[in-house]
Amino acid sequence: MAPVGKLYCVPTMSQTKTIRSVCALAGLELEIPEYKHFSDNKKPEFLAKFPHGKIPALEGANGFNLTEGVPIARYLAGLAPNSGLLGSTPEDVAAVDQWVHFAELEMAMFTDVIIGMLNNYIPYSKGIHTIMTENHLRSLNTLEAHLSTRTFLVGDRITLADITVASVLQRAVGITADAAVRANLINTVRFLETIVHQPKLEAIYGPTEYTEKALQYVPPKKEKAPAPPAAPKEKKEKPKKVAEDDDEDDGNLVPEEPKEKNPLELLPKSTFNLEDWKRAYSNKDTRGADGSLEWFYANFDKEGFSVWRVDFKYNEELTQVFMSSNQIGGFFNRLEASRKYLFGSVGVLGQANASVITGVLILRGQESKAAVDCAPDFESYNYTKLDVFGNQEDKAFFEGALAWDLEVDGKKWADGKNFK
């Protein structure tokens, strides 16, 4: 069989393992050319085919080029429909997609941020490290509960869901999921061992390295400045003894600069409890008597909080609805540091290649930036303050975004995410 294409990649990447495993189980041949990262991906001939210069990158034998791990894996699995890798029923197909997205957004992302901080690619923050670790553990516990009654994630045979989750999980057990964590993940470890030791996959995954203790941050060593040449000694008269208190603080004459507080912490106390609102939204119907909207209007503090419309600036770049929904999830994940100041309901409206991302945020204070600038991509969105008490259009938009029945310019709500 002729190769279906060339895959430019780094063998140890989890996405590479997923793609190669798909081909192994689907009976597809894939050429892996020699590739040097940070060099080959900057060459004009590479950028002509893959303008973003990113790997993994598939150069199809039919002239079709594609980047990003999941789309490549899904495309290749689709070339072998009898493999069952994408699921055999509409329900199975949806469930496979669910777990693939879960692996990327609820597992891999947290691990990637932690690794980035530990390796000083991202400025280290103890608070963010703790939040990422807690969220990652929550995801592993969800996975453990699901696997407690089944061998595979979807159905009775291996699918793209199993391959993707195993690729991400194999990396996690060597970095964050240490022995103490794994003691409560018996089914998850069993699942990982089942997948990586499949005869056709064992050579692709290689040995799994389990860490005994989660990797911790080690600050980089500061280079010592060369010592200045010693000055000639001068004889000095021995000073008279002074009171001990005079020298007590000589080593710290300049007081340390106090740590800057988040400006939102300095606002006057509000009567509106954001956590109570999140519970009301989660547990009540949105519309109707005793619904969450009724609770909101009865309890909202217009001085301490504000409501904002959020719109993605580059809707012309959106393609598939599920990819746009993943983008919202990624944005929300990057807002993690503002979780106690913020609630969001944002969705994809429209259909493939004709959609927009829009929704609402309820946030502390009267300015949006202080609550959202912890996300590196916050400037990719426009923020417009809404008057949900005095403007009927603003109120209708707000309620539609919360109820997930919002319609804008003929585009209906297709999918969405909540930040709570």
**Structural contact between residues 169 and 194, judged by C-beta atoms closer than 8 angstroms:** no
pLDDT at 47: 95
pLDDT at 262: 75
Q: What is the dihedral of CA 55, 61, 62, 67, to 10 degrees?
A: -10
Long-range contacts at 197-201 (CB < 8 A, ≥ 24 apart): 198/25, 198/158, 200/21, 200/24, 200/25, 201/21, 201/24, 201/25, 201/163
**Structural contact between residues 331 and 377, judged by C-beta atoms closer than 8 angstroms:** yes
d(CA 318, CA 397): 22
pLDDT at 245: 44
Cα end-to-end distance, the chain, whole Å? 50
pLDDT at 217: 83
Both tokens of residue 208? Answer: 């799994």
pLDDT in tens, the chain (420 residues): 789 999 999 998 999 999 999 999 999 999 999 999 888 999 999 999 999 999 999 999 999 999 999 999 999 999 998 999 999 999 999 999 999 999 999 999 999 999 888 888 788 888 888 899 999 999 999 999 999 999 999 999 999 999 999 999 999 999 899 999 999 999 999 999 999 999 999 999 999 999 999 988 887 666 555 666 665 655 555 555 444 444 444 444 444 445 566 788 889 999 999 999 999 999 999 999 999 999 999 999 999 999 999 999 998 888 888 888 888 988 898 898 899 999 999 999 999 889 999 999 999 999 999 999 988 888 999 999 999 999 999 999 999 999 999 999 999 999 999 999
pLDDT at 6: 96
pLDDT at 341: 93
d(CA 47, CA 55): 11
**Structural contact between residues 25 and 166, judged by C-beta atoms closer than 8 angstroms:** no
H/E stretch holding 310: strand 305-312
For the entire predicted model, the pTM comes to 0.55
pLDDT at 123: 86
pLDDT at 249: 41
Rg from Cα positions in the chain: 27
**Structural contact between residues 169 and 193, judged by C-beta atoms closer than 8 angstroms:** no
